[in-house]
Structure 1
Amino acid sequence: MLASIDISMYPLQEQYCQPILYFIASLERHESIRIEKNAMSTQIFGDYRILMAALTEDIEQVLQQNPKTIFVLKLLGTDRSKADIEHCGNA
């Protein structure tokens, strides 16, 4: 089953950028995961079980180093990496 996961990470510390960059780099080492980054969040796409295994490993590593880190995940049971933007009515 394919999946899409939107990830926001909030390290509760003054120097918050570097832990986020390290987390993204750890995700990028998983060859079978597609990643899209922007200023608000990181999206990953691929096989559900592969995505969840990677997140389990990489999030655990972050939480061991900084337990005061918040993760917000949104999960969809399909690959939306190439989805067309749908318009609702005349906005």
Structure 2
Amino acid sequence: MKVSVEISKYPLTEADYVSAIQDFIDRVNTHSGIRVVTNLMSTQLFGDYDTVMNVLNKELKTSFEKHGTSVFVCKFIPGDLTEKYGQ
């Protein structure tokens, strides 16, 4: 099963919030087997459900441990929207 996830991160404790957001984006980009698309408002992950969820499990935990309190707003959509909309 494929999944598309849209994520926005809002660090609550970082004085330099941009670096906390960029750190998360950089880490998800190191994983193979998923497609990552970033724009000014969010980061989108596309791929196999289990692969994407394993990446999120690891990187959300790392973000909390490394940067403290953050809010992650996520949308999960079944299917790979890049296949449907050609992104």
- Is TM more than 0.5 here? yes
Corresponding residue number in structure 2 for 1:56: 57
Corresponding residue number in structure 2 for 1:46: 47
Distance in 1 (CA, whole Å) between partners of 2:66 and 2:26 is: 15
Moved over 4 A (4+): none
Corresponding residue number in structure 2 for 1:87: none
Corresponding residue number in structure 1 for 2:6: 6
Letter in 1 for 2:80: D
Give 1:31 deviation, angstroms.
1.1
RMSD: 1.4
The answer to which structure has the higher helix fraction is 2
Letter in 1 for 2:24: F
Distance in 1 (CA, whole Å) between partners of 2:40 and 2:84 is: 20
Which has the higher Rg, Structure 1 or Structure 2?
1
Give 1:80 deviation, angstroms.
0.3
Q: TM-score, normalised by structure 1?
A: 0.87
Matched length: 85
| Structure 2: unaligned runs, 5 residues or longer | none
SS at match of 1:81: helix
